[in-house]
Structure 1
Amino acid sequence: MSRAVSRGARTRMTGRAILRAGIAALALAVVACGGGDDDDGVVTVPGPTPSATPTPAPTPTATPSPTATTTAVTRTPVATFDNPWAMAFLPDGRLLVTERPGRLRLVTINGQVSAAIAGVPAVAYGGQGGLFDVALDPAFATNARIYLSYAEASSGGPALAVARGTLANDGAGSVRLDNVSVIWRATPRSTDTRHFGARMAFARDGTLFVTSGERHQGAPAQDLSGTLGKIIRINTDGTIPADNPFVGTAGVRSEIWSYGHRNPYGLVFASDGRLFESEMGPEGGDEFNLIAAGGNYGWRLVSEGNDGEVLPRHSTRPDLVAPLFSWTPVIAPGGMIQYRGSRFANWNDDFLLAGLVSQGLVRVRVSGTTATEVARIPLHARIREVEQGPADTLWVLEDGGTGRLVRLDPA
């Protein structure tokens, strides 16, 4: 994500004052341009935006409305991890937590953290790559199977991969991962280590949906001969469902469900069965989308943000699917859930998006095909992931090398 840094006058400033001024200027610039999708913290300086071309007006549904409320919650830190990325609650109330360097851990809600679980595939850790999402098989209660998405190393550069395995006791009180096999790999590979996507969600019919980022390349999102910048749908063994929208279409990957995505980090099936996705925009234009089979969501033909140049808005291309809602400045969305419970009053069925740049949760309400931001929950840290736990509690993972697992309760 591009960010601009302005350099103030340094006359008569001490070295410490210069440092403070630089940090303040950087923070202001990040907010101003809506930056924040560089997961590894790399700050880049963009080239100038052409001034001769006026910025087209965005479509009304993609224009952010004012935040309705700011909601306070209580925070209880439970455990600390090395670059945590995702979590999944087991039926017994414990949870699995992934760490991007390649470790999977079993954690109790009281904060007891296991040693790294053996059997996890080797990951390509670097840039934004590493171990990403973890998901339970719909029949986990009987087959103990889990799915992991991760950056897999190869001579052609890392690629997003999905593997499945079975959680098993090792006989000494620990858990290991057995019968591990890769069921899907993104194509083509890229030497760029950004924009993997990697979020997973199971549909009611048991098929698995996976978000695949465009690896910061732009054009591959529109190339149907590859799976970069796509949402894909596969069976739990990696085979392709016969009713996928492009099955039988020459030159098109048959696992593709939708395309034209940039860096999709949120994916959830709602209580009504519809699929919703959130993704990071470039300089502005983070998106909240309703996903339809075969839909083209426009990247990099259109966007509600810019990318070193002014991009056309969705309103200029009615043949492309516009977001239900977009954010400029960005929130830099991470994981996403639909909350289904009563512990947090009036939140039932609202979507909660983890915010990296917004440093908290963003609450979105959907009515039909209209989405509105209704509240922000400030947590004063970059939030990578959010999940609902036992007794309708909420849990978040902070981003970074000392990211914490935090329980949230109504204030």
Structure 2
Amino acid sequence: MSRFLISALAAVSLSPAFMTPAVALESSAGTLQVDTMISGLRGPWALAFLPDGGFLVTEKQGRLLLVRGGQAVSVGGLPDIYVEGQGGLLDVMVPRDFATSREIFLTHAVSQGRSAGTALTRAVLDIDAAQLTDVEQVFQMVTDSRGGRHFGSRLVEGPQGHIFMTMGERGDRPAAQDLSRHNGTVVRLNRDGSVPSDNPFVGVNGAQPEIWSYGHRNPQGAAMDASGQLWVNEHGARGGDEVNRVRKGANYGWPVIAYGRHYSGLKIGEGQQKDGMEQPAFYWDPSIAPSGMTFYSGTLGDWSGDAFVGSLKFDYIARLEGDTMAEVEQLKSPETVRVRDVRTGPDGGLWFISEGNGAVYRVNQ
């Protein structure tokens, strides 16, 4: 298992391909086309759009790409990034006020001596120079966990500008019920990393005040619906991948309750329900290994308000009906190989990252 630091000054080369001929995708919205927006990527993880029509792509090994006007360049000035197993450069978020603030946010793994965790970095992006400046780590999870498993991690900007950030339990199951650590939590932060005064565990003895919800296993997808409700999807073990409506201060049960079993076949915890612990809105069994998530707001079919979730295991994009959150359709093609991220594009298209193909695609009419 590789373990190393990527320096912000590391030299990289880039030779992506753009806009290969579209291919057809059959769906409930009719025959759609899939355009290749960029290919030749290595371990792409997350996608975010810029207001000038460009977009950003992260690669887990520690590269941030700026794509605009048919050209892709590697962005300089990144923080040191710890790469091990599932950890590395993870999510990227462009906030709503980017046109004036020029700020972006990145999640990435960091070394903590004998342990490793997930951190949030804020920086100013100079688009013309493809360079980050004013780089500042504003949050780092409190954990004593080791290894390369379950870093999370997704970012969502809340309606009032708060930042929600998901973190896995780092493979340390009991830690997801330990409020003194950030393992297996969703945290809510102000943009400078400070703690909002109305967070549920502010002032609770021994609890980390950033925590918004806990008892999660490994949430690798998160999105806000049109009403401002936060949702996450998270990996179960053997069965029991979940979609959860995230509530303030709620406990989502891992590893006390779960749908599915340990990889060994043994029962997980105490069963599927327990007082004081939330039930998922939907779960998959067998596991699909869910990742990126979006609530679609474009004009394709009658999909507006539905959620779309990428499957890393079964190579498709799941459409979840917006009212019930049950899976009602699978979008599958040779392009949907290990779908790592899914986003609604500003053009109304459904964009996604295929980690398996090393490419970003757009689904449109």
TM-score bin, normalised by smaller chain: 0.7 to 0.9
Q: Which residue of 2 aligns with 1:328?
A: 285
Q: Which residue of 2 aligns with 1:137?
A: 95
Cα 1:71–1:154, aligned 2, differ >3 Å: closer, same or farther? farther
Q: Looking at CA atoms only, which structure, 1 or 2, has the larger radius of gyration?
A: 1
| Gapped regions of structure 2 (runs ≥ 5) | 2-26
Q: Which residue of 2 aligns with 1:316?
A: 273
Give the 3-state SS of the residue equivalent to 1:385 in structure 2: strand
Q: Which residue of 2 aligns with 1:394?
A: 350
| Gapped regions of structure 1 (runs ≥ 5) | 1-37, 39-67
* Matched AA of 1:128: Q
Aligned mates of 1:390, 1:384 — CA distance in 2: 19
Q: Which residue of 1 aligns with 2:245?
A: 290
Greater RCO (CA < 8 Å, at least 6 residues apart): 1
How far apart are 1:77 and its partner, in Å? 1.9
Q: Which residue of 2 aligns with 1:11?
A: none
* Matched AA of 2:288: I
How far apart are 1:141 and its partner, in Å? 1.3
Do the aligned residues in 1 keep the contact of 2:44 with 2:58 (CA within 8 Å)?
yes
TM-score (norm 1): 0.78
Higher helix share: 1
Do the aligned residues in 1 keep the contact of 2:116 with 2:143 (CA within 8 Å)?
no
Aligned mates of 1:304, 1:139 — CA distance in 2: 40
Aligned mates of 1:157, 1:70 — CA distance in 2: 47
Instruction: Name the count of aligned residue pairs.
Output: 335
Q: Which residue of 2 aligns with 1:378?
A: 332
Q: Which residue of 2 aligns with 1:58?
A: none
Give the 3-state SS of the residue equivalent to 1:167 in structure 2: strand
Cα 1:124–1:333, aligned 2, differ >3 Å: closer, same or farther? same
Q: Which residue of 2 aligns with 1:150?
A: 108
How far apart are 1:153 and its partner, in Å? 2.1
TM-score (norm 2): 0.88
Q: Which residue of 2 aligns with 1:123?
A: 81
How far apart are 1:156 and its partner, in Å? 1.9
* Pairing of 1:94-109 with structure 2 (within 5 A): 94-108=54-68
Aligned mates of 1:297, 1:390 — CA distance in 2: 33
* Matched AA of 1:79: I
Identity across matched positions, percent: 37
How far apart are 1:181 and its partner, in Å? 0.4
Q: C-alpha offsets along residues 43-84 of structure 1, whole Å, 9 cap, x if unaligned?
A: xxxxxxxxxxxxxxxxxxxxxxxxx97976432223221100
Give the 3-state SS of the residue equivalent to 2:100 in structure 1: helix
Q: C-alpha offsets along residues 108-142 of structure 1, whole Å, 9 cap, x if unaligned?
A: 374x211x211111111121111000001232110
Aligned mates of 1:376, 1:70 — CA distance in 2: 12
* Matched AA of 1:379: S
Q: Which residue of 1 aligns with 2:23?
A: none
Q: Which residue of 2 aligns with 1:76?
A: 35
Aligned mates of 2:250, 2:198 — CA distance in 1: 15
Aligned mates of 1:299, 1:404 — CA distance in 2: 33
